[in-house]
Amino acid sequence: MGTILLRIKLMPSSPDVDLDKIKEQVKSVIEGNFGKNTRFDEEPIAFGLKAVIVSFDIPEDREIEPIERKLEAIEEVSSVWVIDMRRAIG
């Protein structure tokens, strides 16, 4: 069975949002849905706003939509995009 490697971009609702708080909540959502190897990057957007890029692995027999819905429900996140999805075999 393979693994899906995902990268998701989360846009905070304002530049004043505590990104560390968002990262903690995101990690909890991912690990609660069989995700592992969670890594975070920040991407400057404009006027002090930074997007959070989260990368993680999930077994390919798991659905991605429940994770997306839970990430969208985080209070200080305004949008969620899957920016990369690849299948890893091995």
24-59 pLDDT, tens per residue? 999 999 999 999 999 999 999 999 999 999 999 999
Residue predicted with more confidence, 74 or 1:
74
54-83 pLDDT, tens per residue? 999 999 999 999 999 999 999 999 999 999
> Would the pLDDT of 2 be above 80?
yes
Put the strands of the sheet holding 77-88 in their side by side order: 36-46, 49-59, 3-12, 77-88
Select the CATH number that applies to the domain covering 3-85 from these four: 3.50.50.60, 3.40.50.720, 3.30.70.60, 3.40.50.1820: 3.30.70.60
Q: What is the domain partition of the chain in residue ranges? A: 3-85
> Would the pLDDT of 1 be above 90?
no
